Amino acid sequence: MTMTTTAPAAQATATTLPSAHPKIAFGRIGVLLVNLGTPEGTDYWSMRRYLKEFLSDPRVIEANRALWWFVLNAIILTKRPGPKGKDYETIWNKERNEGPLKTITRGQAEKLAARIGGRDERIVVDWAMRYGFPSMPDRIEALQKAGCDRILIVPLYPQYAAATTATVGDKAFEKLAKMRWQPSVRLAPPWHDDPVYIDALATSLEGHLKALDFEPEVILASFHGIPKSYHEKGDPYACQCIKTARLLRERLGMSEQKFRLTFQSRFGKEEWLQPYTDKTVEALAKSGVKRMAILNPGFTADCLETLEEIGGENAEIFLHNGGEKFAAIPCLNDTDEGMRVIEAVVLRELAGWIKG
Instruction: Write out pLDDT tens, residues 21-74.
Output: 777 788 999 999 999 999 999 999 999 999 999 999 999 999 999 999 999 999
What is the C-alpha to C-alpha distance for residues 280 and 302, in angstroms, rounded to an integer? 21
- pLDDT for 11 equals 52
For residue 85, give Cα distances in angstroms to 23, 38, 48, 76, 148.
Answer: 46, 11, 9, 13, 37
What is the C-alpha to C-alpha distance for residues 239 and 220, in angstroms, rounded to an integer? 17
- pLDDT for 330 equals 98
Determine the CATH number of domain 4-190+337-349: 3.40.50.1400
Give the Cβ contact number of residue 233 at 10 Å: 10
**Is the pLDDT at 7 greater than 60, yes or no?**
no
Within 8 A by CB and 6+ apart from 258, the residues are 216, 217, 218, 219
What is the C-alpha to C-alpha distance for residues 298 and 227, in angstroms, rounded to an integer? 16
Long-range contacts made by residues 44-50, C-beta under 8 angstroms, separation at least 24? 44/81, 44/82, 44/85, 45/81, 46/85, 47/80, 47/81, 47/82, 47/84, 47/85, 47/88, 48/77, 48/81, 50/131, 50/132
Annotated binding site for Fe(2+): 224, 305
pLDDT in tens, 281-322: 999 999 999 999 999 999 999 999 999 999 999 999 999 999
Contact between residue 262 and residue 277 where contact means Cβ atoms under 8 Å apart: yes
Q: Which of the four pLDDT bands, split at 50, 70 and 90, describes residue 4? A: low
Annotated binding site: 224, 305
Contact between residue 32 and residue 1 where contact means Cβ atoms under 8 Å apart: no
Q: Which helix (H) or strand (E) holds 236?
A: none
**Is the pLDDT at 86 greater than 60, yes or no?**
yes
Identify which of 91, 89, 240 has the alpha carbon closest to the alpha carbon of residue 165.
240
The angle, 0 to 180 degrees and rounded to 10, between the axes of the packed helices 195-211 and 336-349 is: 180
Domain ranges of the chain: 4-190+337-349, 195-328
**Is the pLDDT at 270 greater than 80, yes or no?**
yes
**Is the pLDDT at 193 greater than 80, yes or no?**
yes
**Is the pLDDT at 12 greater than 60, yes or no?**
no
Share of the chain above pLDDT 90, in %: 91
Q: What's the average model confidence in pLDDT over 130-141?
A: 98
From the candidate CATH numbers 3.30.505.50, 3.40.50.1400, 3.40.50.620, 3.50.50.60, the one assigned to the domain spanning 195-328? 3.40.50.1400
Q: What's the average model confidence in pLDDT over 324-350?
A: 98
What is the C-alpha to C-alpha distance for residues 88 and 71, in angstroms, rounded to an integer? 23
CA dihedral 128, 131, 135, 139 (to 10 degrees): 40
Least confident of 10-19, 24-33, 257-266: 10-19
Share of the chain above pLDDT 70, in %: 95
Q: What is the pTM assigned to this prediction?
A: 0.94
Give the β-pairing of 123-131 and 4-5. antiparallel
Within 8 A by CB and 6+ apart from 97, the residues are 41
What is the C-alpha to C-alpha distance for residues 205 and 207, in angstroms, rounded to an integer? 5
Mean pLDDT of the chain: 94
Q: What's the average model confidence in pLDDT over 82-88?
A: 96
| Segments in the chain forming alpha helices (H) | 44-55, 65-71, 77-79, 81-89, 100-116, 136-145, 167-176, 195-211, 228-232, 237-252, 277-286, 315-320, 336-349
Query: Is the fold of 4-190+337-349 the same as that of 195-328?
Result: yes
**Is the pLDDT at 9 greater than 70, yes or no?**
no
- Listing from the earlier edge strand, what are the strands of the sheet with 28-37? 4-5, 123-131, 28-37, 148-155, 184-187
